[in-house]
Structure 1
Amino acid sequence: MKVGIGLPVSDPAVLLDWARRADAGPFSTLGLLDRLVYDNPEPLVALAAVAGATSRIRVQTEVLLAPLREPALLAKQAATLDRISGGRFVLGLGVGGREDDHEVAGVDLRTRGRRLDEQMAVMRRIWAGEDWSGTAGPVGPAPHRPGGPEVLFGAFQPAALARVARFGDGFLAAAPPSWAGGLIETVRGSWAEAGRTGEPRIVAQANAALGPDDVVDDARTAMGDYYRFTGGRADQMVAGMLTSGERIRQTVRQYEDLGVDEVMLYCYGRDPEQVERLADAL
């Protein structure tokens, strides 16, 4: 079982310190959330800096809100990050649900699922090195990984879960073990029905904070602010934050029993010493 860390979004200035500490520890991946109308770093720009500050750990968007972006430029950005990181980039994608994000991007919230499907078809063609049209050639650079970086989808609804088999390499399960199992089985079922070989890679996500009360309180406040648009669900998510080593180990074991390949421990608090505390807890 691999374990990664989700970087905090409340202070971009601390990201490189977090990244270097994680790169020196037992962690497999560094993840970063996405929003447009929020005081968070843009994930592709931030992860490029993180990739340059590290040597072995993977960098992952979790999730990038693809419908807010133009597909040809997004494909170029992803391929560039894949190349400069030496293949350490993982493109986690989702559709998002904030009306304000879509308003500012100038795209229709109601068509975000269809837009993502269209974007994936375009990006796969670009990463394969095909000509754009009869008058425009290939959009480079070629990605480090043939066919493009690894693509994971975060989703909850059946139609969105089926997107993993159509366009992706795996699934981001942002759900507790108690109901992640059903989502994972749906993804595996659609994968088999689509005739895909092998298995989809499954990455789970849990929210965690370790340290003195002020560190945990900082994490809870930041997480509550990020998910405030969900109303009462934000309070439930904050209440479910893992704040002890035993709860973290128990949750990792539960995901392992579900056949999860990697667990991302998302940290909303700014204190970079959480990296060492998490390593000790594991």
Structure 2
Amino acid sequence: MTQIINCRGTLVDLVQPRIMGIMNITPDSFFERSRFYTTDEILTQTEKMLLAGATFLDLGGHSTRPGASPVSQDEEMRRVVPAVEQILARFPEALISIDTFRASVAKACVEAGAVMINDVSGGLLDTQMYKTVASFGNVPYVLMHMRGTIETMTQMTQYDNLVLDILDDLQQKVAQLRALNQRDIILDLGFGFAKNIEQNYKLLNHIEDFAVMNLPMLVGVSRKSMIWRKLNIPASEALNGTTALNTVSLLKGANILRVHDVKEAIEVVHLVEALLAK
């Protein structure tokens, strides 16, 4: 498996699992405490996450929770591009991922200094995304599995064979990206996107099956409904469940955990590494 990714000249070795901290520059993301608006809030949270040990910061200006209100391209740009610039002015060493399904937003953020593209649509929602990402040359692309749109994905959970269907879809998209000479691709199985709760857990239990693709794996289950609905609790109380599923993910080979709570995720990485070293 490819273990080293090139983030615009910064090489990151994924042999050691890495943590990606979530920063939502939105008013309506499902977990309220992940929303940041002002420059002071953004910089304070950046410092907190970096000090806690985050390798990447994932900035998003368009909520992708089920039922989220559409955000225009201009509004998404207005939210995220200044945030990238503000963070790098204060923390030039920060490795920023931009969470967007729009090629134009991805391009503007990379030009502002972002080093990774995290596309929840896997290229479905913008036909220019693959060409745009590949044109950068050394910007890793997080390829997530999804069906439909943000508005319709919850109605698109019918699969002939969940694992094989997703594997086939991702393999086809990787082939398209490779044809454009995209070098670094990171897989994301898309927990919560066009999957119901039972399917999310089945997929989590089959993470190892995707090792056949020989690509790094990002897992993002942090405080998602697959946890809090199962436990009948609010998202604000889902940290313990998140920690449990992050532990499982690492044991099954995850390379990057995308989380709201960096300190706790770092602790999981240390404990799992200690376990696997014995």
> What range describes the TM-score normalised by the shorter chain of this pair?
0.5 to 0.7
Determine if the alignment matches structure 1 residue 161 to structure 2 residue 191: no
- Offset from partner CA, 1:222-257 (integer Å, 9 cap, x none): x99xxxxxxxx9984995747366434322210012
Determine if the alignment matches structure 1 residue 179 to structure 2 residue 202: yes
Determine if the alignment matches structure 1 residue 90 to structure 2 residue 80: no
Q: Where in structure 2 are the equivalents of 1:204-219 lying within 5 Å?
A: 204-208=219-223
Determine if the alignment matches structure 1 residue 53 to structure 2 residue 87: no
Which TM-score applies when normalising by structure 1?
0.54
Counterparts of 1:206 and 1:187, CA distance in 2: 17
Counterparts of 1:185 and 1:281, CA distance in 2: 19
Task: Output the amino acid matched with 1:47.
Answer: V
The Cα of 1:21 is off from its aligned counterpart by: 1.4
Task: Output the amino acid matched with 1:53.
Answer: R
Q: Tell me which residue corresponds to 2:12.
A: none
Q: Tell me which residue corresponds to 1:65.
A: 101
Tell me the number of residue pairs that the alignment of Structure 1 and Structure 2 aligns: 198
Cα distance change on mapping 1:53 and 1:34 into 2, 3 Å:
same
Q: Tell me which residue corresponds to 1:32.
A: 59
Counterparts of 1:18 and 1:203, CA distance in 2: 22
The Cα of 1:154 is off from its aligned counterpart by: 1.6
Q: Where in structure 2 are the equivalents of 1:249-260 lying within 5 Å?
A: 249-260=243-254
Q: Where in structure 2 are the equivalents of 1:215-234 lying within 5 Å?
A: none
Determine if the alignment matches structure 1 residue 148 to structure 2 residue 173: no
Counterparts of 1:42 and 1:16, CA distance in 2: 14
The Cα of 1:74 is off from its aligned counterpart by: 4.5
Counterparts of 1:11 and 1:182, CA distance in 2: 33
Counterparts of 1:281 and 1:114, CA distance in 2: 34
- Structure 1 residue runs of 5 or longer lacking an equivalent are 97-111, 128-146, 192-198, 209-222, 225-232, 268-274
2:131 counterpart SS class: helix
Cα distance change on mapping 1:236 and 1:53 into 2, 3 Å:
farther
- Offset from partner CA, 1:136-185 (integer Å, 9 cap, x none): xxxxxxxxxxx231111121354652324532611123427723347746
Counterparts of 2:139 and 2:241, CA distance in 1: 33
Q: Percent identity?
A: 7
Give the conservation status (yes or no) of the 8 Å contact 1:245–1:281.
no
Give the conservation status (yes or no) of the 8 Å contact 1:44–1:61.
no
Counterparts of 2:218 and 2:142, CA distance in 1: 9
1:7 counterpart SS class: strand
User: Which residue, 70, 80, 92 being the options, matches 2:111?
Assistant: 80
Task: Output the amino acid matched with 1:43.
Answer: V
Determine if the alignment matches structure 1 residue 201 to structure 2 residue 238: no
User: Which residue, 49, 58, 61 being the options, matches 1:22?
Assistant: 49
- Offset from partner CA, 1:40-86 (integer Å, 9 cap, x none): 76334423322333244421123x112xx44xx854x35424xx46x
The Cα of 1:258 is off from its aligned counterpart by: 1.9
1:42 counterpart SS class: helix
The Cα of 1:18 is off from its aligned counterpart by: 0.2
